[in-house]
């Protein structure tokens, strides 16, 4: 349809991705491609929203490459919303290629997807990378959640003993570096890194053991009452505004809909450049 713009949303069948896909599909002039690991859930949601499914498992680089081919066949893309994420309890779980699972899903899969789709993103296309305040690693910004521990990206990609929560915070720092470097390398795009704040109802605890999931289910309604908490629907409205509203400064960090500083640690351009180049190596692409 002439004038219709197309957006690909990863993690589109649950949490923030589901809320974002639904809101964007209801926005006049927008068509949504649903990045979905669960094909059945994707098909059901596609029927509900009048959208199209792009099967995608971010824990498999082969799956990501296939997903990029499917998405590219749909025509030019006006927006790429990198929403999917995983949080596990340990840093020794692995992706299909043997990479540490959290780094693989939250960063490496999205990096490869973006690189593969760059030729199909129109000039001025919006790319939104969903990060988290956990990348600050401070009590005020992250609460009791362990902060990131940066290192050689090759080491971050290796499974290891240790906290899955720390691996998650580190992957969210990687998201900021990736968004900033993407903006630097691709000035024709409009890139934003989005921090939705605390969202107790996103389902990130789905990979936790059953007792931890049960405890989190009890705590969720209490956490949702905190003044700085948001529902997925509230955060989705902010994310969709970044996609459909006026373009801002590319590479900016947006917290709960308002441009804000990211952590001091995230402002290191050398780390951002190194992460890009090592990620290219890990997925088998030139640095570009």
State the Cα angle at 48 between 53 and 69, rounded to 5°: 10
Q: Which of 168, 208, 216, 253 is catalytic?
A: 168
- What is the distance between the alpha carbons of residues 24 and 30, in angstroms, rounded to a whole number? 7
- What is the distance between the alpha carbons of residues 110 and 119, in angstroms, rounded to a whole number? 15
- What is the distance between the alpha carbons of residues 135 and 124, in angstroms, rounded to a whole number? 28
Q: Give yes or no for a contact between 89 and 146, defined as CB atoms under 8 angstroms apart.
A: no
15, two tokens: 């949490």
Instruction: For residue 216, indicate whether it is catalytic.
Output: no
Active site residues: 168
């Amino acid at each position: 349809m002439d004038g219709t713009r197309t957006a690909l949303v990863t993690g589109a069948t649950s949490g923030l991705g589901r809320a974002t896909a639904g809101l964007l599909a209801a926005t006049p002039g927008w068509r949504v491609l649903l990045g979905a690991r669960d094909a059945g859930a994707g098909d059901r949601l596609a029927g509900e929203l009048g959208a199209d499914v792009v099967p995608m498992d971010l824990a498999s680089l082969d799956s990501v490459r296939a997903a990029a081919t499917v998405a590219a066949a749909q025509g030019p893309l006006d927006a790429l919303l990198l929403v999917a994420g995983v949080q596990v309890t340990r840093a020794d779980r692995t992706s299909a290629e043997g990479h540490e699972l959290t780094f693989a899903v939250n960063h490496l899969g999205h990096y490869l997807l973006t690189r593969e789709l760059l030729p199909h993103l129109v000039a001025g296309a919006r790319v939104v990378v969903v990060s988290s305040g956990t990348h600050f690693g401070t009590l005020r910004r992250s609460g009791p959640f362990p902060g990131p521990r940066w290192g050689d990206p090759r080491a971050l990609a290796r499974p290891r003993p240790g906290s899955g929560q720390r691996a998650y915070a580190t992957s969210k720092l990687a998201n900021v570096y990736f968004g900033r470097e993407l903006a630097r390398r691709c000035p024709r795009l409009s890139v934003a890194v989005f921090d939705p704040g605390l969202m107790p109802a996103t389902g990130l605890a789905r990979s936790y053991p059953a007792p931890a999931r049960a405890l989190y289910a009890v705590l969720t309604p209490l956490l949702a009452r905190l003044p700085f908490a948001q529902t997925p629907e509230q955060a989705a409205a902010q994310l969709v505004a970044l996609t459909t509203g006026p373009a801002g400064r590319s590479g900016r960090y947006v917290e709960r809909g308002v441009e804000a500083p990211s952590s001091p640690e995230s402002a290191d351009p050398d780390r951002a450049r190194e992460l890009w180049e090592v990620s290219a190596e890990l997925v088998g692409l030139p640095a570009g």
